[in-house]
Structure 1
Amino acid sequence: MAAYRRVFLAAAAGAFITAALSPAGLAFDGPETSALAAAKPLQMFKDPHQALQSALESYRSGNPASSVEALKYAAAGGEALAQWKLGRMYADGDGVPRDDYKAYQYFQGIVDNYDEDTANWREKSVVASAFVAVGLFNLKGISGNRLQADAEAAQRLFMYAATHFSDSNAQYQLARLYLDGAAGVPRNHMQAARWLNLAAEKNHVESQALLGQLLFSGDGVPAQRARGLMWMTLAREGAGGKTQDWIRAQYEQAIHAANDADRQAALVYLEDHLKRRY
């Protein structure tokens, strides 16, 4: 059994609501999967992997609802990408009714079945994303008493994905947890800055923005105004749609608060950073 499963499952066992899981402990749609197997509507697929490929083609063609049954067949057969895709679809209400608990179950299934000794590293990003998703569900909880909020469990999940997979999203979420603090996880801006820096170096835009703000303001860390302005400049250049308008607004506020020495030094840092990167 993987080291993670030995440590995490023992520590977080109380956080999982096993009564809602199938008798075998699989975090899938137990009744739906059983009915699916009984009806045998997917005999056209020779194996779960072929079902996964067919489902992804259907999804990409703009028919997410029509891909659901094939994805469930593939997920029940152990295809991690199918489990992850169903998790995202239920979390977003994409082709299925939104259901956070079903989403959580699919992501948790990936976490539970992960064994670092036999892992397929081609699925690294899928597994890391599942750890982050389960961490976020643990952090916020799920309504109806289906999952109680547990910041310490979220911290363990983020930490594992941040260290074992070096995943930038996990590093960002771990940093946010240290910035905000929660029950069992005290605020620690120095730790937050450390994880933000690791993610920022991987061009994680939100991490660049938050790290820049921390350094520019000196909030709980030694102030480095020019270096902070550099990170916010990079974040502004990489910011996407309206959901990242806060990054552009943050940059504008900082650039107006900066003096000439800050701006000139930030430009030097920026040029050096780009030389190292490219």
Structure 2
Amino acid sequence: MLFPEAAARGERLTRLSKPAFAIGLLTAALCAHAGIQPDVDTEFPQTNGAPSREVGQSAHQGDARAQFILIRRAAEQGHGAAQNSLGWMYANGRGVDQDDQEAVRWYRKAAEQGYAQAQLNLGFMYDEGRGVGKDDQEALRWYRKAAEQGNAGAQFNLGQMYVSGQGVGKDEREALAWYRKAAQQGDKRAQDALGWMYANGIGADKDDQQAVDWYRKAAEQGDADAQTQLGQMHFDGRGVNKDDREAVMWFRKAAEQRHAEAQFYLGTMYHTGQGVAKDDREAVRWYLQAAEQGEARAQNDLGWMFEEGQGVAKDERAAVQWYRKAAEQGLSLAQDNLAFMYRSGRGVDKDDLQAVMWYRRAAENGHATAQFHLGLMYEQGRGVTRDDRQAAIWYRKAAEQGLAEAVSALAKLGR
């Protein structure tokens, strides 16, 4: 979805971000190891007053300090689940001052008894370097112990280690195998990861239908990243019939969970009227939510909405502010847009030196229109010494990417 604007040579050629409604790199949500804490699914025998329900819930329901005393009593008698729960209370400062070293000590006691959840949690502490020196190989060792006992969280984390090559040689097929074990137990993060592997042909042959199946399983459990990816698959018609309304539905589910990428996509759907009635005010609302979370494409597009007064009162200063936020994150299109604002003196004092700086940053990242604009600055001697040779170099780079204006500019230079 590129929004071109017909313009004379030298005017801005691009406006809004082109949302990459295609599967890209593994998202940050998947790349970060999940520190699964025993506030869920952690039970231990009701012995010596220790509660039989998970610690997190019981601590919410009653006096956390009283719960801590009861759990410590059971832990000191050697109950693995109580030791694990006590570790969680120290790690999270529930009923006691937060103390990662004590958390590690109690997790280790339970882990050495073979308690899988504690093995997972101890692995996480090594993974994060909390209460113990960061040690990827130790993290891997404890994750593996828990994973081999069938702990889905550990299986997922082990898959993460293999896919990133952290603490072990990178092995995408092995990662896929561990993700599958966790996914088959219903772990939604593993289902999402498995969908990503199939969508991108990583660790397995590319298979969009398998990707959709796994994304759907995770999405139906409320996983916001999977909902976003499933929306993308529907938008692109990958592994499923193209259906913009279905894409909007999934983007909305994720957006309402504050998933920034989904908020950006939903804003774009409202702006373009794809799968939903066109509504620039709604587009601005979703762009703003994503932009405030640091989504660079949303920041750029919000800048454009302010510049053009679409869905919001026209405000070129606000446009510059949002372009700058995105540009400083390295978004080439925003760098090109910010350069244009400096070059034209819109929303900011006119400054050709700043314009050239931002055009250059985008051009060096391969942005075709910025390459064209940088060539134009050299041809006109604005912000740089006039240099037709440099102009031709940048025009040629843009022309090689198919930019018609650059082809024409080269011809006019006789190059």
TM-score range relative to shorter protein: 0.5 to 0.7
Q: Distance in 2 between matches of 1:113 and 1:235?
A: 32
2:213 alignment partner in structure 1: 156
Unaligned runs of 5+ in 1: 1-43, 115-126, 265-278
Q: Distance in 2 between matches of 1:45 and 1:217?
A: 57
1:258 alignment partner in structure 2: 309
1:247 alignment partner in structure 2: 298
Question: Deviations 1:12-63 (Å, cap 9, x if unpaired)?
Answer: xxxxxxxxxxxxxxxxxxxxxxxxxxxxxxxx82113333232222222121
Q: Distance in 2 between matches of 1:59 and 1:160?
A: 28
- 1:141 pairs with 2:192: no
1:50 alignment partner in structure 2: 118
Aligned amino acid, residue 94 of structure 1: Q
Q: Distance in 2 between matches of 1:81 and 1:218?
A: 40
Asked whether the equivalents of residues 156 and 178 of structure 2 are also in contact (C-alpha less than 8 Å), the reply is yes
Aligned amino acid, residue 246 of structure 1: R
Aligned amino acid, residue 152 of structure 1: Q
- 1:202 pairs with 2:270: no
Shift of 1:185: 1.8
Shift of 1:220: 4.6
Shift of 1:90: 1.5
Asked whether the equivalents of residues 268 and 283 of structure 2 are also in contact (C-alpha less than 8 Å), the reply is yes
Shift of 1:156: 1.5
The change in CA–CA distance for 1:53 and 1:226 in structure 2 (over 3 A counts) is closer
1:109 alignment partner in structure 2: 181
Q: Distance in 2 between matches of 1:92 and 1:256?
A: 41
Q: Distance in 1 between matches of 2:303 and 2:169?
A: 40
Asked whether the equivalents of residues 152 and 185 of structure 2 are also in contact (C-alpha less than 8 Å), the reply is no
The change in CA–CA distance for 1:113 and 1:234 in structure 2 (over 3 A counts) is closer
How is 1:123-142 mapped onto 2 (pairs within 5 angstroms)?
127-142=187-202
Asked whether the equivalents of residues 229 and 255 of structure 1 are also in contact (C-alpha less than 8 Å), the reply is no
Q: Distance in 2 between matches of 1:97 and 1:199?
A: 34
Shift of 1:202: 1.2
**Same amino acid, percent of matched pairs:** 25
Stretches (4+) displaced over 6 A: none
Q: Secondary structure at the match of 2:112?
A: coil
1:192 alignment partner in structure 2: 247
Q: Distance in 2 between matches of 1:220 and 1:49?
A: 44
2:289 alignment partner in structure 1: 234
Q: Secondary structure at the match of 1:102?
A: helix
2:156 alignment partner in structure 1: 84
Question: Deviations 1:130-150 (Å, cap 9, x if unpaired)?
Answer: 1101111111113xxx52211
TM-score norm. by structure 1 comes to: 0.66
Asked whether the equivalents of residues 264 and 297 of structure 2 are also in contact (C-alpha less than 8 Å), the reply is no
Question: Deviations 1:177-228 (Å, cap 9, x if unpaired)?
Answer: 112222x423211111111111111111111111001101223532111111
Unaligned runs of 5+ in 2: 1-110, 314-415
Of 126, 130, 138 in structure 2, the residue corresponding to residue 66 of structure 1 is 138
* Count of aligned residue pairs for this structure pair: 199
The change in CA–CA distance for 1:256 and 1:147 in structure 2 (over 3 A counts) is same
The structure whose residues are more often helix, as a share, is 1
Of 168, 171, 179 in structure 1, the residue corresponding to residue 224 of structure 2 is 168
Aligned amino acid, residue 250 of structure 1: D
Task: Give 1 or 2 for the bigger CA radius of gyration.
Answer: 2
Q: Distance in 1 between matches of 2:253 and 2:283?
A: 15
Asked whether the equivalents of residues 140 and 161 of structure 2 are also in contact (C-alpha less than 8 Å), the reply is no
Q: Distance in 2 between matches of 1:236 and 1:85?
A: 30
2:86 alignment partner in structure 1: none
Q: Distance in 2 between matches of 1:236 and 1:113?
A: 36
Q: Secondary structure at the match of 2:312?
A: helix
